[in-house]
Amino acid sequence: MYSSDSSSIPVSLGQFERAPPRLDADPQALEDWVGDLKVRGVLQAGPALLQVLEMLRRSELPLGRRLGILSLLKTPVLKVCAGLPKPRAGRGESGLTLEQRLGRLMFVNLDHALHLFDKHHPFPGERESQQRLWLIRNLFRFAGRQIRYVIQYRAALPPGSWRDLHELYLYLLNRRPLALWDLAAEQPVGDGFDYEAEYRQLLLLGLATRLKADIIEDQGFMDRLATWADQTRLDDPHTRLGWLGSYIVESSADEAPRWFSGSLDLPFRGWVLRLPQEYLEVLKTA
């Protein structure tokens, strides 16, 4: 467990007596180093983990080693983030917090690992499918944490966060394991995780926050979010040409869904949201 008593612990990584080992060296050395962080305060463990994640981002490690490191770092990163001091909502503090930087680097490394994984395993078996699911689940987990964090604390989102989330969803759609002519085939067994539902839920949360910054504090709204996400549809813009007034998602834009009041005269790369009526009624009263 990471100590939460950080008053006497220096923030500087330079005062942590053990620098991280080489990532391409003995795996046990990195495990021991991460284990030593448990007795450190979060203000010292956080920068140390940040350095390792940056080393991983810049590395050219083989897939297996990369997956092992991400699996090793995930829980320590989450525990450190949970223990870090939170900003005061609405203070307009400049720059990203340590928690945001950790979350962003985890997402970037997981995303790189997913693309590398698909190159190595174009037709994954059961074991590989579970590994791939682990990557996807954690990508959405860290993306969701980032979005909820900026909503709760009125902070700035790390640049590229929304765009990378849109691109991730598009990438996953294009790499569905079953061909269109084989839709009757048995689906791979999962554990109930649905990345499409997760993505729609984040879209609805981002859109609602545009209209009401403190919507996340409305427990009734949050309790119904998953149901509304299941009822939401993402339509191809080609099917909505000529429509006047739409909620749209532009996959190349680094932003949440938005209202477009004009006529959709040209298709774009993204989706038109078809939202449940109850959700729309809540937006009108926000």
pTM across the whole model: 0.88
pLDDT for residue 190? 53
The values of phi and psi at residue 9, to 5°, are -105, 125
Enumerate residues 6+ apart whose C-beta is below 8 A from 187: 178
Cβ–Cβ < 8 Å for 249, 203: yes
pLDDT for residue 70? 98
pLDDT for residue 216? 87
d(Cα 124, Cα 188) in Å, to the nearest integer? 10
Enumerate residues 6+ apart whose C-beta is below 8 A from 49: 37, 73, 76, 77, 80, 102
Tokens standing for residue 252:
């190349």
Burial of 253 (C-beta count, 10 Å sphere; 0-12/13-18/19+): middle
DSSP string, 66-90: HHHHHHHHHHHHHHHHHHSPPPPTT
pLDDT band at 38 (very low <50, low <70, confident <90, very high): confident
d(Cα 25, Cα 115) in Å, to the nearest integer? 24
d(Cα 274, Cα 234) in Å, to the nearest integer? 6
pLDDT for residue 108? 98
Cβ–Cβ < 8 Å for 106, 73: yes
How do residues 145-160 score in pLDDT, each as one tens digit?
999 999 999 999 999 9
Burial of 75 (C-beta count, 10 Å sphere; 0-12/13-18/19+): exposed
d(Cα 145, Cα 141) in Å, to the nearest integer? 6
Rounded to the nearest 10 degrees, the angle between the axes of helix 42-58 and helix 98-120 is 30
- Eight-class DSSP state of 1: -
Q: What is the mean pLDDT of residues 38-67?
A: 95
pLDDT band at 267 (very low <50, low <70, confident <90, very high): confident
pLDDT higher than 50, residue 189? no
Look at strands 244-250 and 258-263 and give their pairing: antiparallel
Look at strands 244-250 and 270-274 and give their pairing: antiparallel
pLDDT for residue 266? 87
Q: Which range scores top for mean pLDDT: 6-15, 39-48, 61-70? A: 61-70
How do residues 109-129 score in pLDDT, each as one tens digit?
999 999 999 999 999 999 999
pLDDT higher than 90, residue 9? no
Give CA separation, 156 vs 24, 163, 198, in Å: 35, 15, 22
The torsion of the CA quartet 76, 78, 83, 88, rounded to 10 degrees, works out to 150
Least confident of 108-122, 176-190, 216-230: 176-190
Mean pLDDT over each residue of the chain, to the nearest integer: 88
Q: What is the CA radius of gyration of the chain?
A: 21
